[in-house]
Amino acid sequence: MQLEKKLDMPRAIYLLAAEQIIDGQGSLEVINNLEKKAKLQGLHCLAYTIAPLSTDWDALLPSNAFRSGNGPLEALAQAYQHLQTHPLDVITISGKDNLKTGYSRQQRHKLMEIYPGTSLPEAYTRLANDWCRIHQFDKTTFIKLRDSLFKNYYQTYAITSNLLPEKKWFELVTTLFRGVDCANPVMDYDGKVVVATAQAVAKLNLAQRLVEIKGISVQKTKSSGLAGLSEIAGYKHLQRAFLNTCQQAKINFIEQFKNHQAYLEVYTCFPVVPLAFLFASGMAADSAACEAIIKQYPLTFTGGMNLAKGPWNNPVLRAMITLYKKFQQADALLIGGIHGNGGLGEKQGFALLGVESC
């Protein structure tokens, strides 16, 4: 998947507003009013949606709908391109999934069986074993990094909540993962992001600090799912997504991140994914360097999908909205990176967002 095209003189594209409702807390009123105002102003508007769990995994989707954990980044990348090249002013990206109250436990589990006969934890365990062979990691090394990752997420999560999962969730569910190492999707979620051109921003005249899409890239392997394990485990597509984004943004993200000058939200569904990000991005070249980064830098600003919960196809949308809110704070850093992972990892994305002045 190569959504980004070379643009000779790319125009600035902004996140104009971002709101979410989590388990009944929050409001979309600001965005609903903004959408009405945009239409009254005669602006050309388009709506994108993130498919809920109830949408069959193999169902054909319309061009304005997106699926998988990387779906919100694919939507953002397409919005960026369309606002550059089409007669459009505003695109709204929406994701809604009542995973807690909209499904029974049995329904939820059945719909999450996207690989017949193999659960998601087992599929990702196979992927982790392949990744470990590539990097010559033994099981002990992987488990040590796995445990460090959970501590990293908890340090961020504990800023707003010190509740730990029940003791049973610390028991193994596969040979490599405990329950706390797997994404916890059980939440009701509704979020919206408004993406707009500079001209639309001027007409709509909001008081919020502008957040610009500095760079974005999404990439895909040739094969997917269980059949694509060996290709996915190499994570060359993740490396391309990261490097393309940093090149487009003209930002040395690793340097800024290591200097505590940038936020980062790595996709934390299962431990192999954030570990792959650290290696594919070039942040770490071996297990010692990886351990040092995990101990020194927050890899999420939400607390991760394991603790803060991950609403199926919407965790990256949640990260966008959370980062937008962080940028509105007076003491905010100026840049933030968001990683997306889709399916078993065949889809990878990376976006850099920043306040207008950076």
Per-residue pLDDT tens for 80-114?
Answer: 999 999 999 999 999 999 999 999 999 999 999 99
Mean pLDDT of the chain: 95
In which band, very low, low, confident or very high, does the pLDDT at 5 lie, cut at 50, 70 and 90?
low
CATH architecture of structural domain 13-101+183-355: 3-Layer(aba) Sandwich (3.40)
* pLDDT the model gives residue 168: 95
Mean pLDDT on 72-77: 98
> 2 pLDDT exceeds 50?
no
CA distance 162 to 32: 34
Residues 130-185 pLDDT 10s: 999 999 999 999 999 999 999 999 999 999 988 889 999 999 999 999 999 999 99
Q: Say if residue 30 is exposed, middle or buried (CB neighbours under 10 Å; 0-12, 13-18, 19+).
A: middle
- The answer to whether 186 and 53 are in contact (CB under 8 A) is no
Kindly give the pairing relationship between strand 13-22 and strand 188-197. antiparallel
Residues in the chain: 358
Q: Return the HEC string of the chain.
A: CCCCCCCCCCCCEEEEEEEEEECCEECCHHHHHHHHHHHHCCCCEEEEEECCCCCCCCCCCCCCEECCCCHHHHHHHHHHHHHHHCCCCEEEEEEEEECCCCCCHHHHHHHCCCECCECHHHHHHHHHHHHHHHHCCCHHHHHHHHHHHHHHHHHHHCCCCCCCCCHHHHCECCCCCEHHHCCCCCCEEEEEEEEEEHHHHHHHCCCCCCEEEEEEEEEECCCCHHHHHHHHHHCHHHHHHHHHHHHHHCCCHHHHHHCCCEEEECCCCCCHHHHHHHHHCCCCCCHHHHHHHHHHCCCCCCCHHHHCCCCCCCHHHHHHHHHHHHHCCCCCCCEEEEEEEECCCCEEEEEEEEECCC
Quote the pLDDT of residue 357.
54
The pTM score is 0.95
291 contact partners, CB below 8 Å, separation of at least 6: 144, 145, 148
Read off the amino acid at residue 63: S
- Which sequence spans correspond to the domains of the chain? 13-101+183-355
pLDDT band at 207 (very low <50, low <70, confident <90, very high): confident
Q: How confident is the model at residue 358 (pLDDT cuts 50, 70, 90)?
A: very low
CB count in 10 Å sphere of residue 186: 14
pLDDT band for 355, please (50, 70, 90 cuts).
very high
